[in-house]
C-alpha cells in the first residue's frame, strides 16, 4: 500500500503549506508532458495527485491518518478537492505545461541542428591559412520531395483542416481545455497524401558530404570557425543549422606561437656573443638578417618587428622574438685551450684548471 506522505516526501506532521510545496515541486518534475521519454512518469504523476488530493483536504487527511488510503478514498470522488483560491498558487505549474504543449508538434518549421567537427592543421597552415576538404555526415534536404516529405495536399483528418485541436488536461483542480497546434499536420491544416519513399516523409536524408573549409591566416589552436547553413537540414522548410569547425594546430619544432607573436631560440657561439656578428635568423616567411651587438648575453631577447603572424581578424602583424642562447664550446683542441687560457689570463681570471679534481675539491673546503 502506498504511503501518501512518502509519495510526497514529507513528514506525517507536515503543514498544509509544506504539503502544497512538496506537491508543486513533484508535479512539475513528473508531469508527463515534461517527461515524454519516461513512460513511468505518468503513473508517478497520478500517484502524486492522488496523495495530494488525499492530504490537502483536512477531513480526508484525518481519515487517511486513521484508516489508511481506503479511508481517504471513501470520501474522494476523483479530483473534487479543487477550490478556486488554490488556483492562483498553482497556475505557474500549468503555465509551464501549456508553454510546452504549444511547441510539441513534430511538423513545425524549425531550424536544423548545428554540428561540430574537429579539424587538425599544421603550424604553417594555421599561420598562412588554407583550404581543407572535410567529410560531414548530416541530414540533408531530400532531393526527391524537396524537403516536403511527399506530395498531394489533402485536408488533415485529425483537426479537420483547422490546424489546431482542443486538448483536455486533467488535474486535481478540475479539467482544463487548451487549444494546441495539431500534431498530425503541424498546424497547417493539410497533410500529404503520398509519403516520399526516399525520406519516408521526413523531408531529410542522411548523407556524407565533402565540404570545403576556408581557414583564414592567423587562426590559433582551439578557435572555432562557423559555417552558416552547413549543419543539419531544417524541418519542413526551416533553415539549416550551422557547422562549427574547431581547429587544432600541431606545434612546430622550431617556432613557438604566442598569439600573433613567434618565439624562437637562436644559438650563437661564445665568440659571436663577445665580438658581435650579423646572422641569418629563420622566420616563418624565410631567413632575415639580424645584427648581434658585441657583448650580447645569453638569454637576451631580440625583436624582429612584424615578422610574426598576420592577425586572424586583420589587426596587423605580430613580431618575432629571438632568444639568444650562447653555446659554450665543448670540443676544444690544444690550440683552442691555449688561446682560452691566454684569454683568461688577459681577463685577469684566476683559473684552477691546472689542478686535478680532488685538489680543486680540497681548495673548496679550505675556503
Ligand atoms: Zn523525400
Ligand atoms: Zn491537423
CA of 195 to the centre of ligand 1 (A): 8
Please tell me the distance from the alpha carbon of residue 106 to that of residue 221, in angstroms, as a whole number: 39
The residue ranking higher by pLDDT, 290 or 53, is 290
The three-class DSSP label of residue 53 is: helix
CA of 103 to the centre of ligand 2 (A): 14
Among all ligands shown, which has an atom nearest to the Cα of 188?
2
35-49, 88-102, 178-192, 342-356: range with lowest mean pLDDT: 88-102
Output the nine-digit C-alpha cell for 245. 569547425
What are 325's strand-pairing partners? 267
User: Are 164 and 182 within 8 A, CB to CB?
Assistant: yes
Among all ligands shown, which has an atom nearest to the Cα of 159?
2
The three-class DSSP label of residue 129 is: coil
What are 212's strand-pairing partners? 133
| pLDDT confidence of residue 360 | 59
Q: Which domains does the chain have, with CATH numbers?
A: 4-102 (1.10.287.110), 109-143+203-251 (2.60.260.20), 150-195 (no CATH), 256-327 (2.60.260.20), 338-366 (no CATH)
* Interval 324-333 mean pLDDT: 94
CA of 114 to the centre of ligand 2 (A): 29
Q: For residue range 153-195, list pLDDT tens digits in order.
A: 889 998 999 888 887 777 777 777 778 888 888 788 888 889 8
Output the nine-digit C-alpha cell for 266. 637562436
Q: What percent of the chain has pLDDT over 90?
A: 47
Question: Look-up: residue for cell 690550440?
Answer: 335
Q: For residue range 215-253, list pLDDT tens digits in order.
A: 999 999 999 999 999 999 988 778 999 999 999 999 999
**Nearby residues for ligand 1 (ion, Cβ within 5 Å):** 142, 144-145, 196, 198-199
Degrees, nearest 5: CA angle 235-93-21: 145
Q: Is the pTM of this model over 0.75?
A: no
Among all ligands shown, which has an atom nearest to the Cα of 197?
1
| pLDDT confidence of residue 224 | 95
| pLDDT confidence of residue 93 | 40
Among all ligands shown, which has an atom nearest to the Cα of 187?
2
Closest-CA residue to 150 (of 106, 208, 204): 204
User: Are 61 and 76 within 8 A, CB to CB?
Assistant: no
CA of 356 to the centre of ligand 2 (A): 101
Question: Is the pLDDT score of 290 beyond 80?
Answer: yes
Please tell me the distance from the alpha carbon of residue 30 to that of residue 36, in angstroms, as a whole number: 10
The residue ranking higher by pLDDT, 34 or 352, is 34
| pLDDT confidence of residue 90 | 39
CA of 102 to the centre of ligand 2 (A): 14
DSSP-H helix ranges across the chain: 4-8, 16-30, 40-55, 58-67, 69-74, 84-102, 123-128, 270-275, 334-346, 357-366
The pair phi, psi for residue 272, each rounded to 5°, is -60, -40
Eight-class DSSP state of 310: B
Please tell me the distance from the alpha carbon of residue 121 to that of residue 129, in angstroms, as a whole number: 9
Q: What percent of the chain has pLDDT over 70?
A: 83
Please tell me the distance from the alpha carbon of residue 192 to that of residue 334, in angstroms, as a whole number: 97
CA of 92 to the centre of ligand 2 (A): 28
User: How many Å is the maximal CA-CA distance in the chain?
Assistant: 115
Among all ligands shown, which has an atom nearest to the Cα of 204?
1
Provide CB contacts within 8 A for 252, sequence distance 6+: 123, 124
| pLDDT confidence of residue 359 | 60
Average confidence score pLDDT of the chain: 83
Output the nine-digit C-alpha cell for 275. 665580438
Question: Is the pLDDT score of 49 beyond 80?
Answer: yes
The three-class DSSP label of residue 317 is: strand
Q: For residue range 79-100, list pLDDT tens digits in order.
A: 333 333 333 333 334 433 433 3
The residue ranking higher by pLDDT, 16 or 38, is 16
Among all ligands shown, which has an atom nearest to the Cα of 108?
2
Please tell me the distance from the alpha carbon of residue 170 to that of residue 4, in angstroms, as a whole number: 20
* Interval 37-59 mean pLDDT: 81
Question: Is the pLDDT score of 362 beyond 70?
Answer: no
Identify the band that residue 354 occupies on the pLDDT scale cut at 50, 70 and 90.
low
Identify the band that residue 71 occupies on the pLDDT scale cut at 50, 70 and 90.
very low
26-30, 102-106, 296-300: range with lowest mean pLDDT: 102-106
Question: Is the pLDDT score of 111 beyond 80?
Answer: yes
Among all ligands shown, which has an atom nearest to the Cα of 182?
2
Amino acid at each position: 500500500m502506498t504511503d501518501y506522505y512518502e509519495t510526497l516526501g514529507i513528514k506525517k506532521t507536515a503543514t498544509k503549506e509544506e504539503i502544497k510545496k512538496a506537491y508543486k515541486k513533484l508535479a512539475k518534475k513528473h508531469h508527463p508532458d515534461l517527461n515524454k521519454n519516461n513512460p513511468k512518469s505518468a503513473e508517478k504523476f497520478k500517484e502524486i495527485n492522488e496523495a495530494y488530493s488525499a492530504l490537502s483536504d483536512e477531513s480526508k487527511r484525518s481519515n487517511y491518518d486513521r484508516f489508511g488510503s481506503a479511508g481517504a478514498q471513501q470520501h474522494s470522488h476523483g479530483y473534487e478537492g479543487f477550490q478556486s483560491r488554490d488556483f492562483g498558487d498553482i497556475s505557474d505549474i500549468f503555465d509551464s505545461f501549456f508553454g510546452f504543449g504549444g511547441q510539441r508538434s513534430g511538423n513545425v518549421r524549425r531550424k536544423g541542428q548545428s554540428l561540430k567537427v574537429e579539424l587538425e592543421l599544421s603550424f604553417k597552415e594555421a599561420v598562412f591559412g588554407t583550404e581543407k576538404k572535410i567529410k560531414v555526415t548530416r541530414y540533408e534536404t531530400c532531393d526527391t520531395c524537396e524537403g516536403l516529405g511527399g506530395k498531394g495536399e489533402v485536408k488533415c483528418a485529425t483537426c479537420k483542416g483547422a490546424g489546431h485541436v482542443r486538448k483536455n488536461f486533467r488535474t486535481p483542480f478540475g479539467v482544463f481545455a487548451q487549444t494546441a497546434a495539431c500534431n498530425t499536420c503541424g498546424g497547417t491544416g493539410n497533410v500529404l497524401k503520398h509519403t516520399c519513399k526516399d525520406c519516408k516523409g521526413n523531408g531529410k536524408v542522411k548523407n556524407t558530404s565533402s565540404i570545403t573549409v576556408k581557414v583564414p591566416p592567423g587562426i590559433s589552436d582551439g578557435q572555432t570557425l562557423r559555417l552558416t547553413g552547413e549543419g543539419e537540414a531544417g524541418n519542413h522548410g526551416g533553415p539549416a543549422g550551422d557547422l562549427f569547425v574547431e581547429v587544432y594546430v600541431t606545434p612546430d619544432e622550431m617556432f613557438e606561437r604566442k598569439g600573433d607573436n613567434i618565439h624562437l631560440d637562436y644559438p650563437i657561439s661564445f665568440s659571436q656573443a663577445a665580438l658581435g656578428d650579423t646572422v641569418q635568423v629563420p622566420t616563418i616567411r624565410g631567413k632575415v638578417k639580424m645584427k648581434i651587438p658585441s657583448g650580447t648575453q645569453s638569454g637576451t631577447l631580440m625583436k624582429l618587428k612584424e615578422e610574426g603572424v598576420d592577425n586572424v581578424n586583420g589587426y596587423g602583424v605580430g613580431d618575432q622574438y629571438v632568444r639568444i642562447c650562447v653555446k659554450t664550446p665543448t670540443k676544444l683542441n690544444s690550440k683552442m685551450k691555449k688561446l682560452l687560457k691566454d684569454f683568461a689570463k688577459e681577463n685577469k681570471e684566476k683559473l684552477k684548471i691546472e689542478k686535478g679534481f680532488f685538489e680543486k675539491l680540497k681548495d673548496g673546503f679550505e675556503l
